[in-house]
Chain A
Amino acid sequence: MARRRLGPEGRFLLMALPGAIFVVVFLLLPILSIIVFSFWRTESYTLIPDWNLDNYATLFGTTTYMTFLLRSFTMAVAVSLASLVYAWPVAYFIAKHGDRYRLLLILALAAPFFTGIILRVTGIQGVMGPVGVINLGLMNYGLQPIEFIMYTQTAVGIGVTYLFIPFMVTAVYLSLLNFDFELLEVAKINGAKPWRAFIEITWPLNWMGTVIGLVLVFIPSMAESITPRFLGGPNAASFGQVLGLQFGETGTWALGSAMGVLLFAVSSLVILLMWRTVNLQRSGFTGGGS
């Protein structure tokens, strides 16, 4: 009768594997497939297995593509940093003073996602566009409209920050949720002023959460394709926007795949660089479990 009991290793795999397989099959295999397709070519909306490097030659050989890539990259870096600076005090406030409403305060940051991205960007345009609420209000009182938020890169930056800053706040907040604030008292008793305690204790112990937040903002900002179309000027096209075109109007899937691979490569590189700054020992990560 005695059925052999699974050991902890077995029970772990039984619970963890289905999800892992799910991710591998439906995320990693598709990514793998576009890597393959990026070496093919497209002819009248069909992929032809004719191995070549032409797509990459086109990408790296055309200045405009590289400009788009650099523009998106710069935008993503700027947006990530802006989100970082703004999100930290906000997340700290919610974690420390949110009391029993903390979950609600965080969900309120996620709720704007219920309104689709297109309407939200339309809304931003309505608020801060050339004929938006802000500028109309200013002009109504005889003041100069704010020019830098009209069809500029700044406007796109504000829009993209608007879309993704909740990720940053949430990541830092979740990290702070598992931070032992008593450690700050220890630091203070041992002579650390508040800002010193922050640098010595709070920041390093929450660096991993911060990195996750940065990545969560960086990745979609880098690939953002909607916002520039609404808020950017004529020279604001982003890499994601052009990438989308390959799968729509032009139907050049192989080139699109190569662009996807390039986007993936740049993002992965950034993640890798960020991850190298995380020292698991130094993050206070002790492993947990039993």
Chain B
Amino acid sequence: MSEPVLELRNVTKRFGSVTAADAITLSVNQGEFFALLGPSGSGKTTMLRIIAGLEVPDEGGVFINGQDVTALPPYARGVGMVFQNFLLFPHKRVGENVVFPLRMQGASKAEQDERLKWALDLLRLDGLADRYPHQLSGGQQQRVALARGLISRPALLLLDEPLANLDRELRKEMEVEVRRYQVELDIPFIYVTHNQEEALTMSDRIAVMNHGRFEQVAPKLEVYTHPTSRFVAGFVGHSNVMTGTLAAIEGGCASLDWNGVTVAVRTPPGASVGDRVDCFVKLEKMRVVAPGGAAQGENRVPGTLRDIIFKGSTADYLVTLENGAELMISEGSETMGFQRKDPLEVVWSAEAGACFPAGGA
């Protein structure tokens, strides 16, 4: 396999008593769309700034195409970056903003013109080259920022929540666009976001960050379906959480006493009988059925339909169980003809649950 484009080795960064990056090791390959996902304050922007050279790590090294760039200032690293609030130069026209990186590299005028045309075409900015940034709409400013990030064919492009300031419609549109550019250029994008939908839509691989550490680094599908930590299970996707005590363990299968309801779960690694456990099941992994069917190796819990939240192609069913707990189930909106207060049963497979030792609260 070819050499990774970006490698972080044991990168650590502290701000006073806060550890923003805790011995982070990572490699990103050619053509990969890599998302850094985490809540605000998790250290993901610090990660990006370390890669860009805007912060110097306290320990560890940053390698781009095998070269140690830890000691290099940002302007010698040859990376592109797109910022959350665009940060276009207000005194330069669109064209001047976009060719800025090329001018800094000392590219010839002819090459600047050619690349500029290419970038404006790619980002559909034709005809705007002579405008000033403040004369553009938010979406256009974002495209200019992207054009500036891409024009010099950087080794990799860093994106710091670039869509956070756009409205929902535009964001949806840009998500597809950004992915398109990445596929077209075949360079790695490192995309920082706190929005899991963005990460899931665009990326190939996701690193979920929390308190300066990677909780899980894996292809997005795996992060979604097989979270490896309690934090990831809670942060990615929408899940029902069942907290209870392990009543029995039989090999890979265990039974969980969840406030009087017994449910079958996968045995969390290293757990023993009597442990407090959180079990996460994604909303769409559960189904609602009419009561009375036979259990077929699945969990089957009776309850009462409290409400249906219509969402278009899907609907969320709120079900109150006999133990007083409430579950939310995501189903196709046209399923069945349940009414409020109907008795029904919630069904899910033991395999669908991800269990971890219970969190503090």
Q: Do chains A and B touch in the complex (CB under 8 A)?
A: yes
- Please report A residues at the B interface, Cβ cutoff 8 Å: 180, 182-183, 185-193, 196-197, 200-201, 204-205, 281-284, 286-287
Known A188-B53, A282-B91; 14 more pairs at CB < 8 Å? A188-B54, A188-B73, A189-B79, A190-B80, A190-B101, A191-B76, A191-B78, A191-B101, A191-B104, A191-B152, A192-B104, A197-B75, A205-B90, A284-B89
B323 at the interface (CB under 8 A from A): no
CB < 8 Å neighbour of B104 from A180, A182, A185, A190: A190
Q: Contact check, A183 vs B104: say whether CB atoms are below 8 A apart.
A: no
A189/B54 contact (C-beta < 8 A), A205-B91, A282-B91, A284-B91 known: yes
A182/B83 contact (C-beta < 8 A), A189-B54, A190-B148, A281-B132 known: yes
Q: Which 10 A-B pairs have the closest CB atoms?
A: A191-B104, A284-B90, A190-B101, A188-B74, A286-B134, A284-B91, A282-B91, A188-B75, A189-B81, A189-B74
Number of interface residues of B (CB under 8 A): 26
Bound complex: CA A163 to CA B244 (Å): 78
Bound complex: CA A183 to CA B83 (Å): 10
Q: Contact check, B54 vs A185: say whether CB atoms are below 8 A apart.
A: yes
| Contacting residues, chain A, for B104 (C-beta < 8 A) | 187, 190-192, 196
- Of all chain B residues, the one with the shortest Cβ separation from A287 is B134
B201 at the interface (CB under 8 A from A): no
| Contacting residues, chain B, for A183 (C-beta < 8 A) | 87, 89
Chain B positions 194-248 with a Cβ under 8 Å from a chain A Cβ:
none
Q: Contact check, A189 vs B80: say whether CB atoms are below 8 A apart.
A: yes
| Contacting residues, chain A, for B152 (C-beta < 8 A) | 190-191
- Of all chain A residues, the one with the shortest Cβ separation from B93 is A281
Bound complex: CA A200 to CA B100 (Å): 9
A283/B75 contact (C-beta < 8 A), A185-B54, A191-B152 known: no
Of B73, B80, B89, B101, most buried by chain A (CB within 10 Å of CB) is: B89
CB < 8 Å neighbour of A204 from B52, B79, B91: B91
| Contacting residues, chain A, for B52 (C-beta < 8 A) | 189
Q: Contact check, B75 vs A191: say whether CB atoms are below 8 A apart.
A: yes
The proximity string for B residues 103-129 relative to A, scoring 1 for CB distances below 8 Å and 0 otherwise, is: 011000000000000000000000000
Bound complex: CA A205 to CA B133 (Å): 14
A192/B90 contact (C-beta < 8 A), A186-B81, A187-B100 known: no
Nearest CB on B from A232, distance (A): 42
| Contacting residues, chain B, for A185 (C-beta < 8 A) | 54, 74, 87
- Of all chain A residues, the one with the shortest Cβ separation from B74 is A188
Q: Contact check, B132 vs A190: say whether CB atoms are below 8 A apart.
A: no
Q: Contact check, B100 vs A180: say whether CB atoms are below 8 A apart.
A: no
Of B76, B101, B104, B132, most buried by chain A (CB within 10 Å of CB) is: B104
Nearest CB on A from B50, distance (A): 13
Nearest CB on A from B345, distance (A): 56
| Contacting residues, chain B, for A191 (C-beta < 8 A) | 75-76, 78, 101, 104-105, 152
| Contacting residues, chain B, for A283 (C-beta < 8 A) | 91
A189/B132 contact (C-beta < 8 A), A182-B83, A196-B104, A286-B90 known: no
| Contacting residues, chain B, for A281 (C-beta < 8 A) | 91, 132
Q: Could you list some 27 contacts between A and B, CB below 8 A?
A: A180-B87, A182-B87, A183-B89, A186-B81, A186-B87, A186-B89, A187-B75, A187-B100, A188-B53, A188-B54, A189-B52, A189-B53, A189-B74, A189-B79, A189-B80, A189-B81, A190-B101, A190-B104, A190-B148, A191-B75, A191-B104, A191-B152, A197-B75, A281-B132, A283-B91, A286-B134, A287-B134
Of A182, A185, A186, most buried by chain B (CB within 10 Å of CB) is: A186
Bound complex: CA A204 to CA B89 (Å): 10
Nearest CB on B from A280, distance (A): 10
- Of all chain B residues, the one with the shortest Cβ separation from A204 is B91
The proximity string for B residues 56-78 relative to A, scoring 1 for CB distances below 8 Å and 0 otherwise, is: 00000000000000000111111
Nearest CB on B from A207, distance (A): 9
Nearest CB on B from A153, distance (A): 38
CB < 8 Å neighbour of A201 from B81, B83, B89: B89
| Contacting residues, chain B, for A205 (C-beta < 8 A) | 89-91
| Contacting residues, chain A, for B101 (C-beta < 8 A) | 190-191
| Contacting residues, chain B, for A186 (C-beta < 8 A) | 81, 83, 87, 89
Nearest CB on A from B156, distance (A): 12
Bound complex: CA A204 to CA B83 (Å): 22
- Of all chain A residues, the one with the shortest Cβ separation from B77 is A189
| Contacting residues, chain B, for A190 (C-beta < 8 A) | 75, 80-81, 100-101, 104, 148, 152
| Contacting residues, chain B, for A187 (C-beta < 8 A) | 75, 89, 100, 104
Bound complex: CA A197 to CA B189 (Å): 25
| Contacting residues, chain A, for B91 (C-beta < 8 A) | 204-205, 281-284
Nearest CB on B from A180, distance (A): 7
Of A189, A200, A287, most buried by chain B (CB within 10 Å of CB) is: A189
| Contacting residues, chain A, for B78 (C-beta < 8 A) | 191
